[in-house]
Structure 1
Amino acid sequence: MGGEARQQRYDDYLASVVGELLAHDARVRGIDVTAEVDGGVVHLRGRVDRADQLDTVRRLVGRLAGVHAVWDRVRVAGRDPVVLDIGCGDQRQYPTNIGVDRRRTPSVAAVADVARPLPFRDASVDRVFAVHVLEHLIDFLPLVAECHRVLRPGGVLHVLSPWWRHVNAVADPTHVRLLDTQTVKGICSGPDRPSWYPLHVGRDESTVFADLTPLPPGEDPDERQLARFFD
């Protein structure tokens, strides 16, 4: 069986497991959220009354083996999330995302160099997608710090980058950084930079995935959660 066919079958399996969890787990039963799975990424859609309900769904789904990341387009208390898609180029991850790139395309709503401060207010967005962006920056920590600044408490930064051992990491001559899951550990905590709590971190044979939520100043990530994902 080819890799793509196997992944599709596993996605179908994960979708059924997530569906059973949403239907029967007492902690989330009755919540108006549905899920689709694509390449090990679970896409949640629907609406909830409170943010903690969505947090519970994310946490339970993220515990399932084979889930690489949990993304959502879920209304919370009647409000749609504000989502940035930085370095999106010609394609946003969701059509309603706010595309941010230094090159104007039909997908870009805000023209900005992501290597410089982002043109958004503090704590003004709910999600930030950085999909195949970090590997193009010699120093991506300032961008990560900017994502921390613009995210609201409880917001999520979604990172995808080529895994350093896969050919995709070195085949593109514009890639200047190599990443591993251990790189994400360094992103989560370090001197003189904002800290992150890792909701989910993993990889497949080609890609590193990370879902990170910002921690308040002076707070470090839980060592038990770091041990879950990192050596």
Structure 2
Amino acid sequence: MALSQERLSRRDRFLDQAVREMWKYDERLRGLAVEARFDRGIAHLTGEVDSADQLELARSLIGRLDGVLGVWDRVRVAGRDPVILDLGCGAQKQYPGNFGVDLFPTSEVDVLADVSRALPFTDASVDRVFLVHILEHLIDFLPLVDEVHRILRPGGAAFVLSPWWRYVNAVADPTHVRMLDVQTIKGICRRPGSRRLWYPLHAACDGATIFAELRPLADGADFPGEAELARFFD
């Protein structure tokens, strides 16, 4: 059953308080110029840090809190603004400053491109990629997943959001041609025969929506074992 708006709002307030306490009492985070805002269980991180390790620490600790469905970030690292793509953004980007990519022009689209084909970006050139309400519209979304893997830098992340297959919104929209589950994310991460594997930073479902954050694994990198995968998957 999907969580009610009232319950989500109450949980956001709880998580906001929990993060404030983390910043107050955890010496590793004290003085870190990162702000966290919660919206329906997703932590939105903004600010600036001196190193990627500091950002990863903040992301990891927040992601472990009970009730967090995702950790999305737009954080300046070592004086550099991140390069972030919003694929299939339509008329809404997740953060101002992201590059909107879509087949059809709107005021939010910066790059016109068909996301079902090769993306017009060079290898390892992007820090973050948003795939929000896009995978369910593609009959075969694996080529897009592979393209995102190709363009992400080491340490980058893809943020996935899609309707859960058992929720009414998954089938109410006639343009939805694929159904997703958390187990679909596991299949993406360790697809047999694929060179482009992923490390799951986070995966969750709130009874209506699937959330995932995925990091591309380099060729030859060790894939996490079953014990680690059990944090997210059956």
- Matched residue count: 230
1:201 aligns with 2:199: no
Tell me which stretches of 4 or more aligned residues in structure 1 moved more than 2 Å. Answer: 218-221
1:9 CA displacement: 1.2
1:218 CA displacement: 2.5
1:135 CA displacement: 0.3
What pairs with 1:9-28 in structure 2 (closer than 5 Å)? 9-28=10-29
1:55 is matched with 56
Q: Is the 8 Å Cα contact of residues 195 and 219 (structure 1) preserved in structure 2?
A: no
Tell me, in whole angstroms, the C-alpha distance in 2 between the residues paired with 1:146 and 1:38.
Answer: 29
Question: Percent identity of the aligned residues?
Answer: 61
1:220 CA displacement: 4.2
1:230 is matched with 233
SS of the residue corresponding to residue 228 of structure 1 reads coil
Supply the AA of the counterpart residue of 1:222.
Answer: P
1:158 is matched with 159
1:171 is matched with 172
Q: Is the 8 Å Cα contact of residues 195 and 219 (structure 2) preserved in structure 1?
A: no
220 and 195 in structure 1: CA distance in 2 versus 1, 3 angstrom threshold: farther
1:7 CA displacement: 1.1
Tell me, in whole angstroms, the C-alpha distance in 1 between the residues paired with 2:153 and 2:204.
Answer: 24
Tell me, in whole angstroms, the C-alpha distance in 1 between the residues paired with 2:179 and 2:18.
Answer: 33
Tell me, in whole angstroms, the C-alpha distance in 1 between the residues paired with 2:229 and 2:188.
Answer: 11
1:105 CA displacement: 0.6
Supply the AA of the counterpart residue of 2:196.
Answer: P
| TM-score (norm: length of structure 1) | 0.97
SS of the residue corresponding to residue 230 of structure 2 reads helix
1:102 aligns with 2:103: yes
Tell me, in whole angstroms, the C-alpha distance in 2 between the residues paired with 1:136 and 1:219.
Answer: 31
**Deviations 1:50-82 (Å, cap 9, x if unpaired)?**
100100110110001100000111110011110
Supply the AA of the counterpart residue of 2:202.
Answer: H
Q: Which moved further from structure 2: 190-199 or 33-42?
A: 190-199
SS of the residue corresponding to residue 18 of structure 1 reads helix
Structure 1 alignment gaps of length 5 or more: none
| TM-score (norm: length of structure 2) | 0.96
1:213 is matched with 215
